[in-house]
Amino acid sequence: MQKTTSLLKKSKLRSTLHASRSTLNFSICTLQFSLFIFLSATLFSCHGNKGGNTENDSIWIAPQQTDSILSLDEINATDSHKINGTAFTYTIRMAPSDSLPIVVNLDGTRYKDNIVNLTVSKEQQVILNRNFTKASFKDFVPKNDMSNCALVGFSYNLNETADSTQLRFIATVGDPDETAGVNYPTEILISPAGHVTMQMAKDIETEPEYDLNQDPSEDEGV
């Protein structure tokens, strides 16, 4: 009888241990499965947001600058003319300026504006050394066109019918794209003493041919 009771107790103990082990194994499997679900959801979430196209995405990528700024060709010319037998020598230097506002023409193309330096000498004595920009000729250009135009040309006026007692130059403000056909020429008169006056240009015959708009060259690195 006692032996039978002892066997029953051992059997119950084994059943209890087996049940405990089964419960423990189930808990471990449940924990592993939960951890797997959590890691999978996390990885999927990170992968799904990698494109950065969601509305709540806080990362902003700056657009690349695709347009460039164009420049007209530089002018560097020296010549001489006589007034009543006295020789006058002039030098014209026109170049794009980094300090002037960028010009945006009617087509939306951006250009550097130009600055001109005019030097005039009388028998090797400088009587004029002056810079000109588009603003120098604002009285001869329609106000609505000023922002879309640049100083595009500067040359000597060779018109033989004009007053020969003064040096005569032509400055042209216009659309940097010569095909636009927008040009406003101004005549600059310089007396033998170096005094400057301006008027709307009428009779024009210039030299050399650089008074017209030049084909723009792309200013790389801008």
pLDDT in tens, 115-161: 999 999 998 899 999 999 999 999 999 999 999 999 999 999 887 66
The domain in which residue 90 lies consists of: 71-217
Count of beta carbons in the 10 Å neighbourhood of residue 138: 13
The reply to whether 64 falls in a domain is no
The reply to whether 56 falls in a domain is no
pTM over 0.75: no
DSSP state of 57: -
Q: Count how many domains the chain has.
A: 2
The reply to whether 58 falls in a domain is no
Residues 35 and 90 in one domain: no
Residues 124 and 89 in one domain: yes
Residues 100 and 195 in one domain: yes
Q: What's the first-to-final CA gap in the chain, in angstroms?
A: 105
Residues 177 and 103 in one domain: yes
Residues 86 and 167 in one domain: yes
The reply to whether 156 falls in a domain is yes
The reply to whether 75 falls in a domain is yes
Phi, psi of 155 (to 5 degrees): -155, 175
For the segment 30-69, what is each residue's pLDDT rounded down to a tens digit? 555 555 555 555 554 544 444 444 444 444 444 444 469 9
Q: Which residues contact 1 (CB under 8 A, 6 or more apart)?
A: none
Residues 36 and 83 in one domain: no
Residues 23 and 115 in one domain: no
The reply to whether 54 falls in a domain is no
How do 86-96 and 103-104 pair as beta strands?
unpaired
For the segment 63-95, what is each residue's pLDDT rounded down to a tens digit? 444 469 999 999 999 999 999 899 999 999 999
List strands edge to edge, sheet with 167-174.
196-200, 183-190, 167-174, 150-157, 206-207
Residues 17 and 76 in one domain: no
Residues 207 and 123 in one domain: yes
The reply to whether 195 falls in a domain is yes
| CATH number of residue 149's parent domain | 2.40.128.510
Distance CA 216, CA 109 (A): 11
